[in-house]
Chain A
Amino acid sequence: MQTTSSTLKLPKNIWHITLVVFAITLAIFIPTYHWQPFPEPLNDNILSSIYIFAALITAIYGTLLVRQFSPGELPRKVWLTFVLGWWCAVLAEILWVIYSSLMSEFPPFTFIDVAWLSAYFWLGLSIYYQHHLISGKQKLPYSYLLVLNLILIVSAALTTLAQKAGLGEGMSWLVLFLAVLYPVSDIFLGIYALRISLIFGRGMLGRPWWGLITFTIADSLSVYFWMGGDKFMAKQIAQYFYLFSDTSYLTGYLLTALGLLSILVLSQKSSAEPAPSLS
């Protein structure tokens, strides 16, 4: 059997280094977010930099993992689309900082949305590939497109319902639709990621999906607040919910990165030990 994948040399203590760095990241993020000790815009810039760092490290570990597979291998499709999703997330985080520095109020539809929707598309495709790989069932042609259509239809229906319920006051149908599309996509991603991670259980290949589940929960919460959901709770409680939501969002990145790293570290072992001889 031939392997055309690259041989990667990670530092031996990469796992411990990453854990320490991530712990420090969280230790900086939580107080900076909650108490805002620095003047604006420095405080926001620190938080945005932390998000970019977390997204970047996730995408980098994902890219390194993809390089472990040869082009014809089936799991490569799963991880390639997965990592494309995270690179789109990196782009979205960077665009957020750029937009924030250029304008105080964002237009209804920005390149940030394009980046996020692309991220959803790739992550969804990755879930789709993984699901078919582990279920071993024959793929239905265009079945991913069918799921995408279903998400659009559900989002459109919910947008109409939300408008009737009084959510998203002052927003046009299209803006509200976009706002609904995120949590609906999150729910779809979350459900399928949960399903995959349940199949893998504590298996290493299921770990990167844990991050995605955390990420989608956090994202759904923040969209709910953005649509005015925080009006239904006391301000202080809402602040804690914000903290929880945004910390979970960051943790989603970190968990995904750790999940990817655990697979990377295991795959590193193959080149470390020579095959025993029979003589």
Chain B
Amino acid sequence: MAIFFPQAGGDLFTGSTAYLDSIKNNFKTDQATGIIEIQPSPGNDLCILFAEGVLVGAYRRAGDGWIPIREHETVLGWSAEQVPLRLLTLSDIAGRSVWLALESQPGRRLQINNAEEWQEILAECRQAHFTGQIQAVSATCTGLFVCWNGLLVTTEAVFCTPKGFEFTPSRFSCSNVEPLQVTLANFDMSKPSWKSCALRLSAANWSKRLLECYCQLAGQRLLQTLSDEVNIAIRNQRWKIRFDGNNLLDYHFFPQDAHVHQAYLMIFNNMRERMQTVLGKLLEARIFNETFEALDSLDRNLLEATNLTPAALSVK
């Protein structure tokens, strides 16, 4: 039994509910990120996902997709005292991708036989401004990629081979020559995983515009100062997020969308405060408003829906 990233191996056991509890406790005490896969009866699959020791959610397979269940339901209806269990520790990016896969409703499915066909699919997604997850599975490889408004997002890509995990989508397209089962799973804003993802990506687009504008007014050196200072504030929170030039790179797996919102509110408020020190209140407010209005409608609507707007930010 291996549902996600079978190529990664993981620890396979046959265990009781007590053993499952001990594994869950280990996740919590080790503050580990990963997944526990359970097969309580043949044809019945369950998953429990953790982000840095915090339970993200439990899910039961239902048809093509997954439905969320309560944690205690994972020990109900076991066909035997001991059932197959698989434990797989994951990086934050891989954990986020699994969360998206668990909360996506699979849509179009197709088979791809070579690298050219893979490129065609990507071109199709680009043309259709597809937003969702691309799940690509073969005998030796599993890839989970977020496609945002038609473009693959580098910080939201993971693929796994027997050699381990990779996080560069371009390497996936080059290396893949074997037949792949590809599923295009649509973006669903009602799901916490997608809310978190939307917030990450839209906020990254907004911050990029903001910092470009700030750089134009204040120069590269002061931009670097701002990035460094915000990075220190982020590091104090122990988040795996950082500014690299104009780019906001988020590699952190927050277990709830509300946590993502809180984090970004803090980051943007921090940016705002520091911009205000250099540019003054009037100019800072202007560039926040102007860059927000200049965003793509998808990003703007998502930020509005998640309440990360210039009006939602406040400076003491």
Given contacts A76-B219, A278-B251, contact A202 B280 (CB under 8 A): yes
Given contacts A1-B245, A75-B217, contact A206 B224 (CB under 8 A): no
Interface residues of B in 220-245 (CB under 8 A from A): 220-222, 224-225, 227-229, 231-232, 234-235, 240, 242, 244-245
Question: Nearest CB to that of A76 among chain B residues?
Answer: B219
Q: Are A134 and B217 in contact (CB under 8 A)?
A: yes
Q: Counting chain A CB atoms within 10 Å of each CB, which of B221, B224, B228, B279 scores highest?
A: B221
**Residues of A contacting B279 in the complex (Cβ-Cβ under 8 angstroms):** 200, 203, 205
The interface on chain B, measured as residues whose beta carbon lies within 8 A of the other chain's beta carbons, has a size of: 32
The segment out of A170-178, A179-187, A262-270 that lies at the interface is: A262-270
Asked whether A128 is an interface residue with its Cβ less than 8 Å from the other chain, the reply is no
Give, as a whole number of angstroms, the nearest-CB distance from B285 to chain A. 10
**Residues of A contacting B227 in the complex (Cβ-Cβ under 8 angstroms):** 270, 275
For A275, give its contact among B216, B220, B231, B251 (CB under 8 Å).
Answer: B231
Q: Bound state CA distance, A119 and B37, in angstroms?
A: 75
Question: Nearest CB to that of A67 among chain B residues?
Answer: B221
The interface on chain A, measured as residues whose beta carbon lies within 8 A of the other chain's beta carbons, has a size of: 32
Q: Are B244 and A206 in contact (CB under 8 A)?
A: no
Asked whether B259 is an interface residue with its Cβ less than 8 Å from the other chain, the reply is no
Asked whether A147 is an interface residue with its Cβ less than 8 Å from the other chain, the reply is no
Give, as a whole number of angstroms, the nearest-CB distance from B32 to chain A. 16
Q: Bound state CA distance, A129 and B279, in angstroms?
A: 16
8 smallest beta-carbon distances between A and B, as pairs: A203-B280, A201-B280, A270-B224, A270-B225, A200-B280, A267-B221, A276-B235, A273-B228
Between-chain CB contacts (< 8 Å), 30 pairs: A1-B220, A1-B245, A5-B220, A69-B219, A69-B220, A70-B220, A73-B219, A75-B219, A76-B219, A198-B282, A199-B283, A201-B283, A203-B276, A203-B277, A203-B279, A203-B281, A203-B283, A204-B277, A205-B280, A266-B278, A267-B222, A267-B225, A270-B224, A273-B229, A273-B231, A275-B228, A275-B244, A276-B232, A276-B234, A278-B240
